[in-house]
Amino acid sequence: MEHIIKLLTPVTLLVAGAVIFVLGTAFLFASDATLASSSLGASSDLAQAGRWLQFLGGACALGAVCTAGWELILRSELVAGAEIAAAALGTLLLVIGLLVSAASNGSNPEAVVTGAVGIGIWALLVLSRAARASLAEQGPAHTVAQGVQTTVPGGQGGHGHQADLWLAAAIGLFVLAIGNGLSSAGATGPDVAAGLLEAAGLAAVAGSLAIARSRRMLGSRPVPGVLIGVALLAISFLGYAIVAGLAFSTNAAQGAGLTIVTAVELAAVIALGLAAWARLQELHS
């Protein structure tokens, strides 16, 4: 991720994608609000428009990842480029999931499974970063140069322990992927479990970010916005679990519950979009 947010063009694409994704989520919010008023036709049309907009936003994010990878290849940074290539594959699967969902009016469970695999690939990338950080932290604390023993930053020095935070984030993403895959079942029990797992996974990611910030590993202006966005997303998934577990007598009642949850999700996406905009302003300054 750090390779993506350091370059102007990828961050610009992320901002564009965030704006479009916010619009798509706003359409989904309007769809749930319309469902609460028992207007099923209008609700379906708004939801379909929202899904297509979210797909376009995801396509912009994929463009950001691919652009960052191309920049690294031009600089002959092949190891980082390979890592970005794996990230591009994960993002591509997420975008394909959004495309299938939009094309099927949200009725194809394979869209969710494809997205879950994409999240799993991102989790593997973070896990590999955790392993590399662990090896670096457990490396030799001393070297001998010209017969003189010198202490160098190893497991106890440098910027502090990072492996545990990367590992926590990787576990969180794996849990998120599992929960996302469970949501394809379309039954009450799996839907509740999916929402709880997704909320727990994002809470782990938010916790690792918060601890990294407290350790002064993350100090840029967009970090608080990212934290707020991820935390709100976790709350929205928890809300989905609650709504899935309740028995609603009418579509209007269910729509009212979903409207509240989608409003939280919309606020989360807006917070993440503002964080991307703040990063773009940092790069311009």
The answer to whether residues 62 and 20 touch, using CB atoms and an 8 Å cutoff, is no
pLDDT tops 50 at residue 274: yes
**Residue 157 confidence (pLDDT):** 40
Q: Supply the CATH number for residue 131's domain.
A: 1.20.1070
Lowest mean pLDDT among 5-9, 141-145, 212-216, 232-236: 141-145
**Torsion region of 196: left, alpha or beta (phi above 0 gives left; psi -120 to 50 gives alpha):** alpha
**Residue 59 confidence (pLDDT):** 96
Q: Which whole number is the average pLDDT over 79-98? A: 91
The answer to whether residues 173 and 119 touch, using CB atoms and an 8 Å cutoff, is yes
3-state secondary structure 79-91: HHHHHHHHHHHHH
Pairwise CA distance, residues 247 & 50, whole Å: 26
Residue 145 lies in a domain: no
Residue 29 lies in a domain: yes
Tokens 């849990």 belong to which residue?
175
The tally of domains found in the chain comes to 1
> Which residues, 6+ apart, have CB-to-CB distance to 92 below 8 Å?
62, 118
Residue 101 lies in a domain: yes
Q: Cα dist. 5→61, 69, 172, 283 in Å?
A: 12, 12, 21, 9
Residues 165, 16, 27, 275: what is their CA dihedral angle, to the nearest 10 degrees?
A: 40
Q: Which two tokens stand for residue 16?
A: 């564009």
Residue 67 lies in a domain: yes
Sign of the CA dihedral running 94, 98, 100, 106: positive
Pairwise CA distance, residues 182 & 206, whole Å: 22
**Residue 7 confidence (pLDDT):** 84
Pairwise CA distance, residues 90 & 137, whole Å: 28
The answer to whether residues 218 and 206 touch, using CB atoms and an 8 Å cutoff, is no
Pairwise CA distance, residues 34 & 10, whole Å: 36
The answer to whether residues 65 and 10 touch, using CB atoms and an 8 Å cutoff, is yes
> DSSP E strands: which ranges in the chain?
142-145, 148-151
Residue 52 belongs to domain spanning: 2-137+160-284
Q: Which one has a higher pLDDT value, 213 or 151?
A: 213
Largest distance between two CA atoms of the chain:
82
**Residue 72 confidence (pLDDT):** 84
Q: Which whole number is the average pLDDT over 111-125? A: 94
3-state secondary structure 9-32: HHHHHHHHHHHHHHHHHHHHHHHH
Residue 257 lies in a domain: yes
Q: Which two tokens stand for residue 140?
A: 């030799």
**Residue 116 confidence (pLDDT):** 94
The pTM is what?
0.86
**Residue type at position 233:** L
Residue 144 three-state SS: strand
Residue 146 lies in a domain: no
pLDDT tops 50 at residue 158: no
Q: Which one has a higher pLDDT value, 148 or 282?
A: 282
Residue 208 lies in a domain: yes
The angle that helices 251-284 and 8-36 make with each other, rounded to 10 degrees, is 160
